[in-house]
Structure 1
Amino acid sequence: MMSVYLSGDSWAHRLPAGIKLVAVAIGSLLLFKTEMLWIFLVCLALVLAAYGSLGRGAIQRLRLLKGLSIFLAAILALHWLSGTVMDGVIAILRLCVMVLAASFVSMTTRMDDMLTAVMPMFRPLEWAGFSARKPALGVTLVLRFAPHLMEIFAVLREAYQARTGKRSSWRLIAPFALQALKMSDNVAEALAARGGSQGLTQK
């Protein structure tokens, strides 16, 4: 399984995990409040510039958008049929910016740092006698591996296109599900080997 975290000592790696997560959350909320095309174009340019600042390894992660291409095309087609193409373009740009921003946080933040940043949200559970670490771990894993799953789908699409000449097919659902299950097993085994959530390390 390819590593989600991209090792380095860039400006993005040095930023505290909490700041990055809050920035993405606030940015996502603000993007849902606007319909101005130029704002989305500026945000997309900034996110792409952030990727570029990390070098080739980060730029290669942009292929995760290929995994979204079918979904994006469906959104645009629906808006075209309803006569609201511009709304479809804005929806696509919004989704691309949010996905790329979330992936950027995942690849520049160690998992234990992300878990530490998420933990305070679940501290109230401890007052009722429940574990705050387990739900925090669940949220962290979702934030961590959702972009990775899109990368897996993009790789499967490329392989399918190379074999058949077709861009995509429903037949990709089965191998994608198998890859997702395999990844979940690998993560579970890694956690178990490290003593469960208490033994979580940077990857």
Structure 2
Amino acid sequence: MITLYRPGSGWLHRAPAGPKALGILVVVLAISLLPTSWWTAGIATTVTVLAYLALGLGLGELGRQLLLIRWIITITVAGQLLFLDVESAVSNTSRIVAAILLAALLVLSTRVADLLDAFERVLRPLGRFGVDPSRIALMLAVAINTVPVLARLATSVREAQRARGAGSNLVTFVVPFLVVSLKHADELGEALTARGVR
């Protein structure tokens, strides 16, 4: 599994995985439930910037994360503008981007093993009903890591296209991106199968 964990000594890195995940989930839900308006976009942006600054990751890391998801932002804005007015498109996109960037805080500051342990502890009571906590914990950990991994794959595809002299064209980007995404999914599935996860 590709890990995006960045070692650090700040309080975010030292915080237990469970409470940290819960805190980030609460903030993301609060932003998601805001009404659609210009000020919602401002709040989402401000909360995200302040989170990166307050947690010691800085604007440099925020910029790197934004760069990784630039294609997701582009596709989201374009899709929204097809069906909604500009205010709604900007507001919705800013909330989606804020959610992704805030979720990245969890992945950047928590080892995958710690996330798995936290999810397993929370899900353990469901074992009485035939639910396998370790399997669900693994699925959740993979899901949390998926967005940043796809963002990195998108960056790699774009860089490869630039090296070949290809222009910025969304259509010529989508097909190779889907191919490498599906290849990554196959490799991840094979790795999980090799470890006995079915």
Instruction: Confirm or deny a common fold (TM above 0.5).
Output: yes
For residue 34 of structure 1, what is the aligned residue in structure 2?
A: 34
Q: Which moved more, 1:162-171 or 1:16-25?
A: 162-171
- Runs of 4+ more than 4 Å apart: 54-59, 188-193
Aligned amino acid, residue 4 of structure 1: L
For residue 86 of structure 1, what is the aligned residue in structure 2?
A: 87
Which aligned pairs between 1:4-19 and structure 2 lie closer than 5 A? 4-19=4-19
Deviations 1:95-148 (A, max 9, x none): 111011111211211011111121244324311334211112111111122221
Which aligned pairs between 1:29-178 and structure 2 lie closer than 5 A? 29-35=29-35, 36-37=39-40, 38-49=42-53, 53=57, 59-78=63-82, 82=84, 84-178=85-179
Question: How many angstroms apart in 1 are the aligned matches of 2:178 and 2:116?
Answer: 26
Question: How many angstroms apart in 2 are the aligned matches of 1:130 and 1:52?
Answer: 38
Q: Which moved more, 1:141-150 or 1:181-190?
A: 181-190
TM-score by length of 1: 0.77
Question: How many angstroms apart in 1 are the aligned matches of 2:131 and 2:80?
Answer: 44
Question: How many angstroms apart in 2 are the aligned matches of 1:25 and 1:65?
Answer: 20
CA displacement at 1:49 relative to structure 2: 2.3
Q: Is the 8 A contact 1:52 1:58 kept in 2?
A: no
CA displacement at 1:184 relative to structure 2: 3.5
Deviations 1:21-70 (A, max 9, x none): 11221112211222333322321322442576268567533322212133
Aligned amino acid, residue 71 of structure 1: I
Question: How many angstroms apart in 1 are the aligned matches of 2:169 and 2:159?
Answer: 9
Provide the identity percentage: 27
Change (3 A) 1:42 1:101: same
Change (3 A) 1:85 1:130: closer
Q: Runs of 5+ in structure 2 lacking a partner? A: none
Aligned amino acid, residue 72 of structure 1: T
RMSD: 3.0
Q: How many residue pairs end up in the alignment?
A: 193
Question: How many angstroms apart in 2 are the aligned matches of 1:96 and 1:186?
Answer: 27
TM-score by length of 2: 0.79
Deviations 1:150-191 (A, max 9, x none): 221133124324534532333333432332344345445555
Q: Runs of 5+ in structure 1 lacking a partner? A: 198-203
Q: Which moved more, 1:65-74 or 1:103-112?
A: 65-74
> What SS is found at the alignment partner of 1:22?
helix
Question: How many angstroms apart in 2 are the aligned matches of 1:98 and 1:31?
Answer: 8
Deviations 1:69-106 (A, max 9, x none): 33233145236xx5x32222111110111011111211
Q: Is the 8 A contact 2:10 2:56 kept in 1?
A: no
Change (3 A) 1:2 1:132: closer
Question: How many angstroms apart in 2 are the aligned matches of 1:148 and 1:177?
Answer: 13
